Amino acid sequence: MTLAGPPLYGAEPCALSGRVFAGRYQVLGALARGGMAEVYLARQTGMEGFEKLVALKCIADRHAGDEYFLAMFLDEARTAADLRHPNIVQTLEVGVDQERAFIAMEFLHGASLSRVLKALARDGGAVPVDVALHVAREAAIGLHAAHTKADLQGRPRGIVHRDVSPQNIFLTVDGVAKIVDFGIAKAHDRSIETTAGGLKGKLPYMSPEQLEGEDIDARADQFALGVVLWEMVVGRQLFRRDTEAKTMDAVRACVLPPPSTLRSVPPALDGVLARALAKSREQRFPDCAAFAAALERLEEGLGVAVRPSRVAAFLHQALDDDTKPGTPATLGAPPDQSATPRASGPSSVDPSAPTLTHGSRLSATEAAAVRRRAPLVAAAATALVGALLGVVLLWPDAAPAGGQGDRRAALDGTDAGADTASAPLDAASTPAAAVAPVVPDAGLEVAASADAGEPRRTDARPVRPKKTHAPPDQETPAAVAPAGEGTLWFKDVDPYYVAVVDGVAIGPTPRRHRVGAGAHRVELRAPETNAVVLTREVDVPAGSTLPIAAR
């Protein structure tokens, strides 16, 4: 069959549309193509009308007879084939049809964490602490399952993912976090090593020992997940700098600004992250299970039981900026020149910096209303193909307007309202000048998972963030604040500052922060020196947005 009308879940008609693999996987369209493999949306059929969607990854025709590429392809399949865990994407079948190798994989609905962080970064937001802890804990549990997997003889397989990053953590619309893409994983039963002697993974998420080419173990994945968690709660990248060399230097130095000095997060999180991100692996948690247990204790300390429905509501809210009703939006595949640098050998690259913009969001209540009006058609063929796959989110044609709901469920847990607990800013606060904005997809053009972990890279020159010169009344309006509240809009992007409201640091700019209507004292401080750049007494009318900028 061929596709008629709009592409189904982002799958484009292709030469293989209608072909049936192994008598049960009917190709519906192409989702992604890489140097080594191609990924298709397929319908699995069975007895009595059984059918479901799957992602079908096939070795590219041009490599069909290449034993080396076939070995790499099958290594990937072998590594992930028997990893059956709720927090790991599932491989359904590995086979050969008409001399063409394929992997049938679980078809997921949702978006990569990378895509979510990119959406939040446009508004200077971060993942709410409770959601971040829950997502990181589920990812840690999934990683531990992979790390401790044994073969059929009971021997440890020694699996290390080696590429834990926001691109390879997937959030489903049901609120479940899954680890994807074991394309460059280390395992004792791999027949070959990818780019032997080269770096494997993404530089900003490598542990110091991985960066130095040492033999690594599961604690390298723990370190990478610690970086991801830090970035989720802070809203900025930890180690990434404007060149590959500087990024490597930052990883080697392993300087960790405590998150509580940058955002309103529990100080106990500082200690947990300091351990997971210890420069010496001997000082980290013994395994990801212990890391997950520490995160669970932090969750319990918040006094709120985080359920998948909370993560699902956050996902809907976070991605509303980037979707228009009835219009497909690519949520998993990085756009051109928007992928995190991933090391596969020596090279020099300058990742681009983001352009930060603002868009309105649905409240959790409005998102729930959307789901009641029409089912969310959101699908991502991810599985082992990670960031390269087309993850598509289709929203209903109509959405309720102006619902107030629980606005405290803001994307940035520090900005829920004027009474949000925050740590006072003082001169002893850890400088954050070198911390880059979180845009996991900014930088180089990369072909990732469909190439079994060996990306094609192109140099990209740095692009400075664009400043918005339009007057305030031409800016994209924010969601209406609840009665009795207004919004402070801290607009500075490049350079950014630390925003302070009534003596309390609320985090780096750009950001929006709701406050009670009335008089407030606002400051902007330089992140390196803590010097006051701007001091202003303002009066915030109820229901209005007041822009604040250094100049």
Mind telling me the catalytic residues?
163
User: What's CA 101's distance to the chain center, in Å?
Assistant: 30
Q: Phi and psi for 6 in degrees, rounded to 5?
A: -60, 150
Sign of torsion over alpha carbons 174, 317, 373, 408: positive
Cis status of the peptide bond prior to 510, with omega within 30 of 0 = yes
β-pairing, 485-490 vs 545-548, is parallel
Q: Which value, in Å, is the radius of gyration of the alpha carbons in the chain?
A: 23
Structure tokens at 547: 């822009």
Cβ atoms of residues 438 and 354 within 8 Å = no
Q: Residue 198: which of 460, 440, 455 has the closest Cα?
A: 455
DSSP letter at 335?
P
Phi, psi torsion values for 540, nearest 5 degrees: -100, 110
* Residue that has been written with the tokens 């992140």 in this structure: 527
Task: Check: CB of residue 240 under 8 Å from CB of residue 183.
Answer: no
Would you say 188 and 126 are in contact if contact means Cβ atoms under 8 Å apart?
Answer: no
Residue 258 DSSP symbol: -
User: Helix 218-234 and helix 113-121: axis angle, to 10°?
Assistant: 30
Helix residue ranges, H only, 208-330? 208-211, 218-234, 244-253, 267-276, 288-301, 308-319
Contact 399, 370 (CB under 8 A): yes
CB neighbour list of residue 5: distance below 8 Å, 6 or more residues apart: none
For every residue of 72-104, DSSP letters joined together read: HHHHHHHHHHT--BTTBPPEEEEEEETTEEEEE
- Residue 533 to residue 531: CA distance in whole angstroms: 6
CB 217 within 8 A of CB 188: no
CA distance 259 to 228: 12
